[in-house]
Chains A and B, each alone.
Chain A
Amino acid sequence: MTAPVTTTSTDGPAMVRPRPVGRGRVITAYRWEIAKLAAQARTRATLAVCLVAPFVFVVLLDRQDRLPKDTLYGRWVHASGFATPLLILGFAAQWVFPLLTCLVAGDIFASEDQHGTWKTILTRSHSRSQIFWAKTLAATTFATAVLTVLALSCLTAGVLLVGHQPLESLSGTLLPAGRAAGLVLAAWATALPPLLGFTALGIMISVLTRSSPAGIVGPIILGLLMQLYAFLNGADAIRHLLLVTPFDAWHGLLAAHPYYGPLRDGTLVSAGYLVLCLAVAFTALRRRDITGG
């Protein structure tokens, strides 16, 4: 150990290097968290799968004689490339979306517990609140990125491998290619509010349990239980409050006479989950004893 040590001399009044304050520190921490996510193989692999999987799915579907006719737009996957992204959207809502977002959201807080790095972070001029919002922003960024990549990949795979034939609406009318493409993207965009709801759910479980497996698997199980409840035709009022219900809100966009009630209600329900889960997580993190890790 022979290299010179360079520290500020104390001959005169030492100057502390100016650092960002308030919201600036949240942005600094957000960039740090994004850089950390980008360094993780799991994050990169997830985005790569979202990019490639739709193409593999379409190729496999193309080789099949039997179509998934019991699934919405399943019977039209060979007739129009715009049916492919809608078929995948319906499938992804069941458990793929919760899994994809919670790979990061369910781990982003618990991993600090797992590695004992809370003290490393919090002794570098950042408060728990700043770290909380930075991590939450990073998790929602990842969720949005995953949804965007998957949507564009599904649309591209459908159009390139099947074609850009007109799409039949849910009312039976034919939608020209340009209009169909716009509606497909809009349909995928409606999945964002419930996806962010699941992101918040993953964050909450991650903070409360300090366990990555619980943070990742927990929201998937809850999502499947909600699916089961909806499948069993339970009380309608409760069904509307489930976080999986808004995933079907896009159906209204594909009708001959579009209706937006489910989209509005779904957005409100998703916002409710988002606020409630983040409030619980924020309070728990603020109060937590992290002296051990």
Chain B
Amino acid sequence: MVDGVPAVEAVGLVKRFGGLTAVDHVDLRVDVGEVYGILGPNGAGKTTFLRMLFGLIRPDAGTLRVFGRTWAEAGPTTLDGVAGFIESPRFYPYLSGRRNLMLLAGLDGGDADSHIDQVLDVVDLADRAGDKVGGYSFGMRQRLGVAASLLRDPQLLVLDEPANGLDPAGIRDMRALVTRLAGSGLTVLLSSHNMDEVEEICDNVTIMRTGRVAYHGSIDELRAQAPDPSHRLATSDDDHALRLSAEHHGVSVTAHHAGGLALRAQTADADGYLIALGRAGIAVRALHLEIAPLESLFFMLTETGSAAGSASGSATGSTSAGLRPRSHNVTGATP
């Protein structure tokens, strides 16, 4: 691997299935050490992109380089230094978790089998390693998938919806695991349809919609362009509260379609308005965050195809006309 070569670089990538263009002229660059998210609703083209990255399908146009190598030039050696899974990881159910890892270590060659205990510890499966995988829960199989990936001692870890199908505790554990892996300096490419997950873990993000790039740039830049948070507000006197909002700059209050009021404002402005309500003798009976700002922007980008002006600097029609992901070197100590 040559210094400065990106971990993943896609240029004008296209994949068609009959009349359907699943990936449509996608440009993307993941630098070494970066934690990168590919975000989009189901059918956006995320998994198709990852299938091309792993060489399971070939692009119809464009190039996709992994550590500077393409499948056409390097064949399966393209995946040296790369590990991960697409959709849910699958194993031989009649064998134990440990036995599955031993087999995969044998397929990887080298000294991969010497890491088995270590990776089982990392994913917290050491106690259940002797049990047959057929008896594992979905979350345990997901974690075993991460363990199987780590066996390859990867420089790039690719995870496709790792928290998909998990219960809340499983989601928490999986996010904590991915966060720790990302913190260890590993380059991580994470596909998800969950804005919270990507916001929590990733440095940079590409948002896809119907095969095209709707946005790419840093999470911080995305956050800056997000609309105000939306709350549902219930007071002792909604009419008075509505009239009072006109006196507060940066606060938008309207009647909520389900009763009460809809409040849109940045936190500081909302705080000022709520204090004013109290001073005016209006009791605040309920205040619920309805849509987080980034989630709201995500819906705008993926459902309407534009950020309605609020993300104009980085929302792109198809390619990399917007912001370029920055290089990050995450080398923090692991907990």
Contacts and interface: CB of A to CB of B under 8 A. Distances in A.
Nearest to B125: A1
Nearest to B79: A125
Contacts of A5: 122, 150, 180-181, 183-184, 186, 334
A16 B95 CA distance: 29
Interface string B75-90: 1111111011111011
Interface stretch (B100-108, B270-278, B292-300): B100-108
A7 B85 contact: no
A60 to B, nearest CB: 33
Q: Tell me whether chain B's interface is mostly helix, strand or loop, or mixed.
A: loop
B84 A36 contact: no
Contacts of B183: 5
Contacts of B153: 7-8, 17
A125 B51 contact: no
B290 interface: no
A140 B120 CA distance: 35
Contact of A14 (B1, B150, B334): B1
B309 interface: no
A119 B152 contact: no
A11 B123 contact: no
A124 interface: yes
Interface string B1-23: 11100000000000000000000
B173 A124 contact: no
B238 interface: no
B32 A3 contact: no
A237 interface: no
Contacts of A29: 107
Given A13-B2, A123-B84, A7 B181 contact: yes
Nearest to A14: B155
Interface residues of A, number: 47
Contacts of B79: 123-125
B329 interface: yes
A120 B89 contact: yes
A20 interface: yes
Contact of B54 (A28, A35, A122, A130): A122
Interface string A65-81: 00000000000000000
A117 B331 CA distance: 34
Interface string B171-196: 00100110011011111000000000
A35 B78 CA distance: 26
B93 A7 contact: no
Contacts of B115: 6
Contacts of B185: 7-11
Contacts of B54: 119, 122-123
B99 A8 contact: no
Contact of B177 (A1, A31, A120): A1
Interface string B102-140: 111011111000010010011110000000000000000
Nearest to A6: B118
B154 interface: yes
A261 interface: no
Contacts of B118: 3, 6
Among A7, A9, A36, A40, residue most surrounded by chain B Cβ atoms (within 10 Å)? A7
A19 B81 CA distance: 10
A3 B103 contact: no
Nearest to A3: B121
Interface of B: 1-3, 32-33, 51, 54-57, 67, 75-81, 83-87, 89-95, 99, 102-104, 106-110, 115, 118, 121-124, 148, 150, 152-155, 173, 176-177, 180-181, 183-187, 329-331, 334-335
13 contacts: A1-B173, A1-B180, A4-B334, A5-B150, A5-B181, A5-B183, A10-B187, A17-B81, A28-B107, A35-B102, A115-B93, A125-B108, A126-B76
Given A2-B124, A19-B109, 11 more contacts: A1-B122, A5-B150, A7-B181, A9-B331, A12-B3, A17-B80, A28-B107, A31-B106, A32-B106, A120-B91, A127-B76
Q: Which 5 A-B pairs have the closest CB atoms?
A: A3-B121, A16-B81, A10-B33, A13-B3, A116-B90
Interface of A: 1-21, 25, 28-29, 31-32, 35-36, 39-40, 115-117, 119-127, 130, 289-291, 293
